[in-house]
Amino acid sequence: MRIAMLGWEFPPFVSGGLGVHCYELTHQLAKMGHKVDFFMPGCGQELKSGNENIRLLAVERSYLNPYFSISKKGKIATYGKDLLNAVKAYGKAASKMVEKENVLKKYDVVHCHDWLTAKAGKFSAGAVGAPLVQTIHSTEYDRASSPWEVILGVEREAVKEADLIIAVSRRTAMRVKEMGADEKKIKIIYNAVDASKYAHKHGHEFSSSVREKKKVLFLGRLTEQKGPVQFLHAAKKVLDKKKDVIFFVAGTGEMLPLLINLSIELGIKDNVKFLGFLPDNDQKKIYSACDVYVMPSTSEPFGIVALEAMAAGTPVIISKSSGVSEVVKSALRVDFWDIDGMAQKILGVLVYPPLGRAMTEMEPNDLMHLTWEKTAKETLKAYNDALSLYSEKKNRK
């Protein structure tokens, strides 16, 4: 099959789960012998996939960035004010490229990811006459506490236009349905993890003052959605009962200054370490260096990071408001607003060593069922479903 995939981020230009998903999915599809052309915003650097079945194609240099990015001065750039126009412009440019490539060799399916590429997907599928598959990794309701109507509009249109929608979890599928999508064209395909990438990584080199202490990890963008405030409040509760614990906050984002202030206000600043954005390799190390990973997200469509921590053999505590909590049994689950419960579970793992060991022992059972190979196979089935839905639609017309 020949697939035109419209993405937004791709390792090493990556800020979240969407990029990881696209990388692993394209590589698995390539392994099965399918050809993927991956269109993404140009970033001024040369794009190379290193795989003969995958071509990375840069759409003109865009001033749009996924979610956020950090400038060289450490400032956080957010969406431009002409966002919708920029998205449209990007969509037009991308679809022109897809159309050009299609002339040389026809695409069987157009696959786009999230709202930022939805327009590009719609234009492209229309231009080349192929079914449109739309994956929803997250919705505006997940990302923002006060959702932006403009983006909601794009998302509603995206799920309406797509021939088939892939949701990364049951909760995301519910959201998509609420947006008005026809239930019959929604398919749930869970994310996965390449466990081999995270196993047996040597831990961080810590100073002696940290080495002796128990370590608790938060890792994610510092936005309300990821629940870092809840994490710090739980940290405070834990420290009331047990002093020798360090809480790592890995990641950056708009809430960083607020969180630093909060750690001071709570009187726990000496026990909270802000690590900033961690490059891939450091991320892998920090998982296994910590005694427990906590994902207190208020709304997490999936939560690949939890699987990464599990793959590193670290016990995980995950929000019940997450897609990953639908598929793992070896985790402790918590309501993001239940600070006492969260603290109690963190303490449980820290003070009762058999607990963490039992959780770790169970993790491979979960991960066994969550491979990118499986995700890709199911995605391929979704492409075939999209093709039949598409031809049905054409016949009706």
- Report, in angstroms and rounded to the nearest whole number, the Rg of the chain calculated over CA atoms: 21
Whether omega before 147 lies within 30 degrees of 0, making that bond cis, reads no
Rounded CA-CA distance 280/284 in Å is 6
Distances (CA, A) of 234 to 185, 268, 343: 40, 11, 5
- Binding marks (x or -) toward other proteins, 278..317, rule CB under 8 A? ----------------------------------------
Smaller CB distance to other proteins: residue 58 or 362?
Answer: 362
Q: Where are the alpha helices (DSSP H) in 145-268?
A: 149-161, 170-178, 208-211, 228-241, 256-265
Q: Considering the rule CB under 8 A, would residue 369 count as an interface residue with other proteins?
A: no
Q: Considering the rule CB under 8 A, would residue 345 count as an interface residue with other proteins?
A: yes
Smaller CB distance to other proteins: residue 300 or 366?
Answer: 366
Smaller CB distance to other proteins: residue 177 or 320?
Answer: 320
Give, as ranges, the residues between 82 and 111 that touch other proteins (CB under 8 A): none
The residue from 56, 109, 347, 376 that contacts other proteins (CB under 8 A) is 347
The residue from 359, 370, 376, 387 that contacts other proteins (CB under 8 A) is 359
Burial (CB count within 10 angstroms: exposed 0-12, middle 13-18, buried 19+), residue 260: middle
Q: Are strands 164-167 and 186-188 parallel, antiparallel or unpaired?
A: parallel
Nearest distance from C-beta of residue 348 to other proteins, angstroms: 4
Give, as ranges, the residues between 223 and 282 that touch other proteins (CB under 8 A): 237, 241
Distances (CA, A) of 387 to 4, 184, 185, 392: 14, 14, 12, 9
Site size for other proteins (CB under 8 A): 20
The residue from 30, 93, 168, 343 that contacts other proteins (CB under 8 A) is 343
214 Ramachandran zone, left/alpha/beta (phi>0; psi -120 to 50): beta
Interface with other proteins by CB under 8 A: which range of 200-208, 223-231, 326-334, 380-388?
Answer: 326-334
Interface with other proteins by CB under 8 A: which range of 82-90, 271-279, 306-314, 328-336?
Answer: 328-336
Distances (CA, A) of 159 to 83, 152, 172, 370, 395: 20, 11, 12, 26, 21
The residue from 83, 152, 266, 355 that contacts other proteins (CB under 8 A) is 355
Which residue ranges make up the site for other proteins (CB under 8 A)? 237, 241, 329, 332-333, 340, 343-345, 347-348, 352, 354-355, 357-359, 361-362, 365
